[in-house]
């Protein structure tokens, strides 16, 4: 997976936010703390992350 992500044209913050969506959708909650922290390091706001997590519930 990491090899594929290095070829992505998405910026790193967008990539992490998308990855958070994938983790939530797949119910793979164990990886969320790491990816949420990484997204925040890259400049994502709490609201950005919340949107990724809860927009999928609609």
Residue 3 confidence (pLDDT) above 70: no
Q: How many helices (H) and strands (E) does the chain have?
A: 4, 0
Residue 57 confidence (pLDDT) above 80: no
Average pLDDT over residues 21-25: 90
pTM, rounded to two decimals: 0.79
Distance between CA 48 and CA 5 in Å, rounded? 20
Share of the chain above pLDDT 90, in %: 59
Question: What is the token pair recorded at 5?
Answer: 């992500």
Cβ-Cβ contacts under 8 Å for 25 (sequence gap 6 or more): 56
Where residue 36 falls among pLDDT bands split at 50, 70, 90?
very high
In whole angstroms, what separates CA 42 from the centre of its chain? 11
Average pLDDT over residues 13-37: 92
């Amino acid at each position: 997976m990491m090899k594929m992500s290095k070829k992505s044209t998405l910026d790193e913050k967008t990539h992490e936010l998308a990855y958070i969506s994938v983790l939530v959708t797949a119910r793979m909650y164990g990886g969320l703390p790491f990816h949420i922290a990484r997204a925040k390091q890259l400049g994502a706001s709490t609201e950005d992350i919340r949107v990724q997590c809860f927009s999928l519930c609609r």
